């Protein structure tokens, strides 16, 4: 492991900024810490709010992530107050939290890390704590203590497992007193601590200690220093997970399987709360899921307690033969050349998969009831990580970002097991100790720091014509309300640009850009497939793409009539058809929202191709409501009238022709539309977007087959 420390950069910083700098360096290296793991501190003499000189411990606050550390993520504590606590024999967690918060210099600072006392009791200026993969590989083994001794001699203290908090802090201090020359400590089944009298010293020792473990593992993995009691790597000819017993499906079969089965998996794992999925199929993951030992190793337990917050204690290792997966997606004569989104047809496989997920949840319930204490609430019992031979890893989360984090944490668990198996045999916390941590209120507190969920949180939506004025407004609104979206447009570049703008504004993985010509069956099918592969399913579709053509019927060219029908009728049909297939497969209900027009109810002259084709859309929307009811699939329409702002539909030419039809000047057109409605108001893209968000949300859960007008009130277009 390389040190990222730069003297030139560090030298310019004051004490707190140097702590921030060092924390970022540690957080930046994923092999040291993933997503919120680890913590750091520094001790300084500073002036308090009354100008008195006082010893302060700056320690990372609970729940923040080291790699994006800022000053505000650290809590200043009165060190002398905390040092007094060393005299205590014991302390409950609640008391510790209370005493820590009373020792805060700044009442607005975040709650200090649960490992704050450990930082306080040790007399060193700078202290770092990580959950480095290589250290976890050493400590999570049958003979971890001996191996650590071999690697580090007495330079690292070994602390037998104890839950973080007062007891660990006190034991750490006592062990240090017995070995004051040590440079750090290994916390069994948990991680590494290093210290020093400067930021650089503590950080450098962290890198050094981890590097020593890495090179020990590396040597063992290559079998150079194999001993009698060597790990699995030697026993299985350099393969830490044993021989590979399954083959990975080829890429197209794997994708086909995933787009067929992800909605089914999403349905089952969403039984308590809906989730978004993330699939990982890299070589390291595939090696593990295809291996002989993978099924057993994956059930041993977490690499460090912190990982359980995201992955649960264990993943679900799905017991299926990849050969059956391959058979399930093999093209049949009927499916070939239809261009339809094919789903896996093997019902046996679906049942097996559903049963295994359900029995995982039941096992979690039993585990909870076995160890629960009064007042505890069971967490969602469904798996957060699914490992599937021949396919890969599927992680779940409340949003895409959480699902990605969950997958990354588990990839580090695999890496830890790989190292442990290379030097010995992987071990983890016992069941009661794992439960104690998985359900520890101080760990769960981190989850409560998340902001409250938005109305469309956990939802996945696809929007067509998404880069026009109305489409953009809808896209932004849905993401703002918490949804994940596929932005589909004729112009891929525009779609990708909008997706990246929304990601920057609202968070990683919230939007993806796709090319879709709604009149092309292949485009439509592929866009839905990509949406499923990216997010794991679908909850809402906003069928918005449309075109306008102006001409009296007697001069309307056949090609213009057909073009209007192609986009405004057939386009909606193709989109609705693919959406319904997925929604039925997923069985979580769903929403189809058709952007129609006031013209459906009150057609205008010279608008024959437009009004007739949009009426076909409206009738289709009603049929979808009728057919979708038993699946809890709702289908509704939004009827806007004359949305001019930023509109591509209202080109200069269309404006001119429409003004001619009404016998007014082009520049009077917007005012004309405004004046003809009862509220004398202008209709904006955001008005349409607000109605779409309402129809996509549970607030409209009893509404289907309905027209929601967004026209300022046009008497002739009242729905009836």
Q: Closest approach of Cβ 190 to Zn ion, in Å?
A: 6
CB of 81 to Zn ion, least distance (A): 23
Kindly give the interhelix angle for 521-535 and 571-586, rounded to the nearest 10 degrees: 30
Q: Which is nearer to Zn ion, 191 or 571 (CB)?
A: 191
Q: What minimum distance in Å lies between the beta carbon of 187 and Zn ion? A: 7
Phi, psi of 334 (to 5 degrees): -65, -35
- Any idea what the Cα angle at residue 586 is, between residues 405 and 410, rounded to 5°? 20
Least distance CB 139 / Zn ion (angstroms): 12
Please say whether the dihedral angle defined by the alpha carbons of residues 562, 567, 568 and 573, taken in this order, is positive or negative. positive
Q: Which is nearer to Zn ion, 191 or 389 (CB)?
A: 191
**What CA–CA distance (Å, rounded) separates 443 from 63?**
9
Taking the complex as a whole, the smallest distance from the CB of residue 304 to Zn ion amounts, in Å, to 7
Minimum distance of Zn ion from residue 594's CB (angstroms) = 52
Burial of 13 (0-12, 13-18, 19+ CB in 10 A): middle
Shortest Å distance, C-beta 115 to Zn ion: 6
Residue 127 or 258 with smaller CB distance to Zn ion: 127
CB of 164 to Zn ion, least distance (A): 6
Nearer to Zn ion, 20 or 186 (CB): 186
Pairing of strands 460-463, 316-317: unpaired
d(CA 204, CA 2): 10
Q: Select 112 or 191, whichever has its Cβ closest to Zn ion.
A: 191
Alpha helix positions (H), 179-269: 199-221, 232-235, 251-269
Shorter beta-carbon distance to Zn ion: residue 191 or 302: 191
**DSSP of 77-103:** EEHHHHHHGGG-S---HHHHHHHHHHT
Q: Is 602 exposed, middle or buried (0-12, 13-18, 19+ CB in 10 A)?
A: middle
3 state DSSP class of 662? helix
Please tell me the chain's helix, strand, coil percentages from 3-state DSSP, rounded to the nearest 5. Answer: 50, 15, 35
Angstrom distance (rounded) from CA 55 to CA 46:
6
Cα–Cα distance between 562 and 569 in angstroms, integer? 10
Choice between 191 and 231, CB closer to Zn ion:
191
Report d(CA 503, CA 254) in Å as an integer: 28
Distance CA 398, CA 277 (A): 9
Q: How far is the CB of 185 from Zn ion (least distance, A)?
A: 12
Name the closest residue to Zn ion (Cβ). Answer: 191
Pairwise CA distance, residues 590 & 540, whole Å: 6
Nearer to Zn ion, 39 or 234 (CB): 39
Q: How far apart are CA 144 and CA 212, in angstroms?
A: 15
CB of 482 to Zn ion, least distance (A): 31
Within 10 A of 226 (CB to CB), how many other CB atoms are there? 14
Picking from 198, 175, 25, 191, the residue whose alpha carbon sits closest to that of residue 124 is 198
3-state secondary structure of 101: helix
Q: How many Cα atoms occupy the beta-carbon half-sphere of 451 within 13 Å?
A: 6
Burial tier of 89 (Cβ tally within 10 Å: 0-12, 13-18, 19+) = exposed
- Residue ranges in contact with Zn ion by CB under 5 A: 191
Q: Tell me the closest approach of the beta carbon of residue 527 to Zn ion, in angstroms.
A: 43
Nearest approach in angstroms of CB 642 to Zn ion is 60
Q: Which is nearer to Zn ion, 186 or 576 (CB)?
A: 186
Query: By C-beta, is 305 or 571 nearer to Zn ion?
Result: 305
Q: How far apart are CA 588 and CA 606, in angstroms?
A: 43
Which helix H or strand E contains 193, and what residues bound it?
strand 191-196
What is the C-alpha to C-alpha distance for residues 95 and 236, in angstroms, rounded to an integer?
A: 50
Secondary element (H or E) of residue 586: helix 571-586
Q: What are phi and psi of 89, to 5 degrees?
A: -90, -40
Active site residues: 610
Report in angstroms how near the CB of residue 84 gets to Zn ion at its nearest.
24
Q: Is 15 exposed, middle or buried (0-12, 13-18, 19+ CB in 10 A)?
A: middle
Cβ proximity to Zn ion: between 156 and 328 the closer is 156
End-to-end CA gap in the chain: 71
Which residue, among 662, 559, 659, 542, has the nearest Cα to 609 in the 3D structure? 559
Q: Which long-range contacts (CB under 8 A, 24 or more apart) does 49-54 make?
A: 49/105, 54/78, 54/80, 54/105
Residues 320, 331, 393, 440, Cα dihedral to 10°: -70
Report the candidate in 188, 183, 85 with the shortest Cα–Cα distance to residue 136: 188
User: Longest C-alpha distance within the chain, in Å?
Assistant: 100
Distance, CA of 99 to CA of 104 (rounded, Å):
9
Taking the least distance from each CB to Zn ion, the nearer of 170 and 267 is 170
Nearer to Zn ion, 132 or 688 (CB): 132
Give the span between the Cα atoms of 117 and 672, in whole angstroms.
Answer: 71
């Amino acid at each position: 492991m390389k040190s990222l420390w730069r003297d030139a950069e560090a030298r310019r910083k004051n004490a707190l900024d140097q702590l921030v700098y060092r924390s970022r360096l540690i957080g930046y290296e994923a092999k040291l810490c993933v997503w919120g793991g680890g913590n750091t501190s520094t001790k300084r003499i500073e002036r308090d709010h009354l100008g008195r000189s006082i010893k302060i411990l700056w320690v990372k606050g609970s729940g923040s992530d080291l790699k994006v550390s800022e000053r505000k993520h650290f809590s200043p504590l009165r060190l002398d107050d905390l040092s007094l606590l060393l005299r205590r024999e014991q302390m409950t967690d609640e008391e510790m939290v209370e005493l820590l918060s009373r020792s805060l210099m700044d009442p607005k600072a975040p709650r200090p890390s649960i490992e704050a006392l450990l930082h306080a009791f040790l007399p060193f200026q700078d202290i770092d704590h990580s959950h480095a993969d290589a250290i976890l590989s050493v400590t999570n083994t049958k003979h971890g203590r001996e191996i650590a001794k071999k690697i580090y001699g007495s330079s690292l203290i070994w602390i037998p497992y104890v839950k973080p908090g007062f007891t660990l802090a006190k034991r750490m201090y006592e062990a240090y007193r017995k070995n004051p020359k040590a440079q750090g400590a290994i916390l069994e089944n948990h991680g590494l601590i290093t210290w020093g009298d400067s930021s650089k010293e503590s950080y450098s020792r962290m890198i050094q200690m981890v590097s020593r473990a890495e090179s020990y593992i590396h040597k063992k993995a290559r079998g150079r220093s194999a001993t009698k009691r060597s790990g699995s790597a030697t026993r299985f000819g350099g393969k830490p997970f044993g021989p590979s017993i399954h083959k990975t499906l080829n890429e197209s079969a794997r994708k086909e399987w995933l787009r067929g089965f992800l909605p089914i998996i999403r349905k089952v794992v969403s039984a308590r709360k809906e989730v978004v999925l993330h699939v990982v199929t890299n070589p390291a993951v595939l090696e593990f899921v295809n291996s002989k030992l993978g099924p057993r190793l994956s059930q041993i337990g977490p690499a460090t307690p912190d990982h359980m917050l995201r992955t649960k204690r264990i993943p679900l290792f799905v017991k299926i033969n990849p050969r059956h997966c391959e058979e399930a997606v093999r093209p049949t004569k009927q499916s070939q050349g239809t261009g339809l989104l094919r789903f896996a047809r093997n019902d046996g496989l679906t049942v097996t998969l559903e049963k295994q997920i359900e029995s995982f949840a039941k096992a979690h319930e039993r585990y909870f009831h076995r160890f629960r204490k009064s007042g505890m609430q069971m967490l969602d019992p469904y798996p957060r990580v699914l490992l599937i031979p021949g396919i890969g890893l599927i992680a779940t989360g409340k949003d895409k970002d959480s699902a990605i984090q969950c997958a990354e944490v588990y990839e580090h668990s695999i890496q830890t097991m790989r190292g442990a198996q290379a030097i010995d045999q992987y071990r983890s916390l016992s069941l009661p100790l794992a439960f104690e941590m998985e359900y520890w209120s101080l760990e769960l507190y981190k989850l409560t720091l998340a902001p409250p969920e938005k109305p469309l949180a956990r939802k996945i939506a696809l929007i067509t014509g998404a880069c026009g004025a109305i489409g953009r407004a809808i896209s932004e609104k849905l993401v703002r309300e918490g949804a994940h979206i596929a932005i589909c447009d004729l112009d891929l570049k525009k779609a990708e640009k909008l997706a990246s703008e929304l990601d920057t504004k609202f968070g990683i993985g919230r939007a993806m850009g796709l090319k879709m010509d709604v009149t092309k069956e292949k485009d439509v099918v592929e866009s839905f497939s990509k949406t499923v592969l990216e997010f794991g399913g679908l909850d809402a579709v906003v069928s918005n793409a449309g075109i306008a053509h102006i001409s009296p019927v007697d001069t309307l060219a056949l090609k213009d009539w057909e073009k209007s029908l192609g986009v405004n009728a057939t386009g909606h049909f193709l989109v609705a058809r693919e959406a319904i297939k997925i929604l039925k497969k997923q069985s979580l209900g769903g929403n189809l929202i058709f952007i129609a027009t006031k013209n459906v109810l009150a057609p205008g002259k010279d608008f024959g191709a437009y009004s007739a084709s949009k009426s076909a859309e409206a009738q289709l929307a009603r049929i979808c409501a009728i057919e979708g009811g038993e699946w809890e699939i709702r289908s509704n329409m939004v009827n806007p009238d004359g949305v001019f702002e930023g509109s591509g539909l209202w080109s200069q030419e269309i404006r001119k022709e429409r003004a001619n039809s009404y016998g007014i000047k082009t520049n009077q057109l917007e005012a004309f539309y405004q004046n003809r409605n009862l509220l004398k108001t202008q209709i904006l893209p955001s008005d349409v977007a607000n109605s779409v968000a309402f129809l996509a949300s549970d607030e409209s859960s009893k509404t289907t087959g309905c027209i929601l007008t967004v026209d300022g009130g046009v008497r002739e277009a009242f729905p009836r």
